[in-house]
């Protein structure tokens, strides 16, 4: 028996290593690669590995390894933000990135640990099958939902995003949202892991394949459903991409050049709705010269429309906001960002973390929160559901302004992340928001990816990253509600609740 210990140790090491590689592979399913089948295969590999773990410690390690490979590969741009633009030393930025990715990996690790039954549970073939086909997918879906709100939320790279816009599974998005798509992916991955097991009888493998095909075909049929209808006449738009380097953006000596640059771009891009990026005007609204305000207002009016400009409002002496204001034909309106980024836009628990302000050289790092019940902006002949940067990764918050809004608009400054995967991943999340709501989405960014997205989540037009310019086009407003607009995440939560109760009941019966 003792002679088998080295082989057992080797096998126990190979499982986490295989899981680590599978996690890294899953990133290929997201933009800009868009190989949407890779996350399905990666998840199937993870579930197959988890089904071979006999202890919760082993399950935890396999899940943690998958998460570490996934996040280190997928959000490596955090290092760029901290080191290149945040002023951290390379060593400290690397350590901070590793710690962050390790914390994120704890949720897949918990899935791995919790899927292993307690030592006193009966684990016959039926129990093991139920655990793989329903238990693990249920835990997986819930873990991604928890990641979307715990510690204010980090839903970046939720697996469902990888299916937009080309996968048949994208059809589930208007019904169940991104977490529902993730859950369907987990069900398919579990069926693949179960059906591909070598000891499985051929007849059962066929049934697993049939179930996979049913889920895929249902999603494809849902893609053909028209949930919303056009409303009113199309609106001409111009989305401005200033391409202002982050290390120059807040230098006082560069403010005049930035103001003039955006004014020239706007004047050369006549449209009913002109959109400037987040904090495109790098000064407080109260410091904006009257001549510049009048100039931008005149440009907004020139085609009987409006201009939306991102800039901070309020004052350093009191509360200040990350805002968008409208200038043009309609009375000036404003939107204040509600969902702020911890350590980037505010410092949580200042008594504990206040020192971070001195380490990270981030201007305006103590924004106040806007009200959660802000209404759409009536500009350019549309009702605009405004959101700023990171806010559009929270679908349940975007739908607060629906169904009143006819179009979605996101303004961002992703220069913090350099030439990395971040701008592409962020644009893919905007594509999901368009699909969930049945609305067009406009993205105006400083360095990219500036884009026009249709209600099916497809990129209709975009500007190359790290170039200055204007993206012109025409958009259509929409009315009506998708099921996700009506229910939000409550539909998939209710589904998980029913499945959870069914699993508990099955376990209770086995104990009798």
Q: Which residues are catalytic?
A: 278, 337, 389
Rounded CA gap, 206 and 211, in Å? Answer: 9
Rounded CA gap, 482 and 26, in Å? Answer: 29
If one counts every other C-beta atom within 10 angstroms of the C-beta of residue 353, the result is 12
CB 414 within 8 A of CB 422: yes
Helix crossing, 136-147 with 490-511: angle to 10°? Answer: 140
CB 164 within 8 A of CB 435: yes
Give the CA angle between residues 255, 379, 441 to the nearest 5°: 85
Q: Is 120 helix (H, G, I), strand (E, B) or coil?
A: coil
- What residues have CB less than 8 Å from 248, skipping those under 6 apart? 254
Strands 459-462 and 377-379: unpaired
Structure tokens at 369: 């929160």
Q: In the 3-class helix/strand/coil scheme, how is 343-404 assigned residue by residue?
A: CCCECCCHHHHCCHHHHCCCCCCCCCCCCCCCCCEEECCEEEEEEEHHHHHCHHHHHHHCCC
Rounded CA gap, 93 and 471, in Å? Answer: 35
Rounded CA gap, 75 and 80, in Å? Answer: 10
Rg, Å, the chain Cα set: 24
Q: Which residues pair with 231 in a beta bridge?
A: 477
Structure tokens at 171: 């059809």
Q: Cα 502 from chain centroid?
A: 31
CB 277 within 8 A of CB 412: yes
């Amino acid at each position: 028996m003792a002679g088998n210990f080295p082989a057992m140790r080797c096998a126990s090491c190979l499982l986490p290593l295989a899981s680590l590689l599978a996690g890294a592979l899953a990133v290929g399913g997201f933009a800009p690669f868009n190989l949407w089948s890779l996350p399905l295969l990666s998840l199937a590999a993870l579930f197959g590995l988890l089904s071979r773990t006999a202890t919760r410690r082993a399950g935890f390690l396999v899940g943690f390894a998958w998460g570490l490979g996934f996040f280190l590969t997928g959000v490596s741009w955090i290092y760029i933000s901290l080191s290149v633009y945040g002023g951290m030393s390379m060593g400290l930025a690397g350590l901070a990135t590793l710690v962050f990715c390790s914390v994120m990996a704890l949720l897949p690790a918990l899935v791995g640990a919790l899927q292993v039954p307690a030592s006193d549970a009966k684990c016959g073939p039926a129990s093991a099958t139920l655990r793989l086909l329903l238990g693990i997918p249920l835990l997986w879906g819930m873990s991604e939902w928890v990641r979307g709100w715990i510690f204010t939320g980090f839903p970046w790279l939720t697996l469902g995003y990888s299916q937009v816009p080309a996968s048949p599974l994208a059809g589930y998005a208007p019904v169940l949202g991104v977490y529902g798509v993730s859950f369907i992916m987990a069900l398919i991955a579990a069926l693949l892991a179960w059906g591909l097991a070598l000891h499985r009888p051929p007849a059962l493998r066929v049934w697993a394949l049939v179930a996979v095909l049913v889920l895929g075909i249902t999603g494809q049929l849902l893609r053909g459903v028209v949930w919303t209808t056009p409303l009113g006449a199309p609106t001409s738009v111009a989305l401005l991409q200033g391409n202002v380097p982050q290390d120059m953006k807040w230098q006082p000596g560069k403010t005049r050049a930035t103001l003039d640059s955006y004014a020239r771009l706007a004047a050369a891009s006549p449209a009913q709705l002109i959109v400037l990026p987040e904090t495109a005007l790098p000064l407080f609204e109260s410091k904006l010269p009257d001549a510049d305000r009048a100039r931008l207002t005149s440009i907004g009016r020139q085609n009987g429309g409006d201009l939306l400009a991102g800039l901070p409002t309020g004052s350093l002496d009191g509360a200040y906001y990350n805002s968008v204001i409208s200038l043009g034909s309609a009375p000036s309106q404003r939107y204040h960002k509600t969902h702020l980024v911890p350590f980037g836009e505010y410092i949580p628990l200042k008594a504990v973390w206040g020192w971070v302000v001195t380490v990270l050289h981030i201007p305006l790092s103590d924004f106040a929160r806007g009200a959660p019940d802000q209404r759409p902006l009536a500009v350019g002949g549309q009702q605009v559901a405004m959101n700023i940067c990171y806010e559009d990764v929270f679908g349940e918050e975007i739908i607060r302004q629906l169904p009143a809004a006819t179009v979605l608009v996101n303004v961002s400054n992703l220069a913090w992340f350099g030439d990395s995967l971040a701008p592409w991943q962020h644009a893919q999340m905007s594509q999901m928001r368009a699909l969930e709501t049945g609305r067009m989405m406009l993205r105006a960014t400083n360095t990219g990816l500036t884009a026009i997205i249709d209600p099916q989540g497809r990129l209709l037009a975009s500007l190359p990253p790290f170039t200055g310019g204007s993206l012109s086009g025409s958009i259509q407003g929409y009315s009506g509600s998708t099921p996700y607009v009506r229910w939000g995440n409550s539909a998939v939560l209710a589904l998980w609740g029913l499945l959870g109760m069914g699993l508990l009941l099955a376990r209770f019966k086995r104990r009798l």
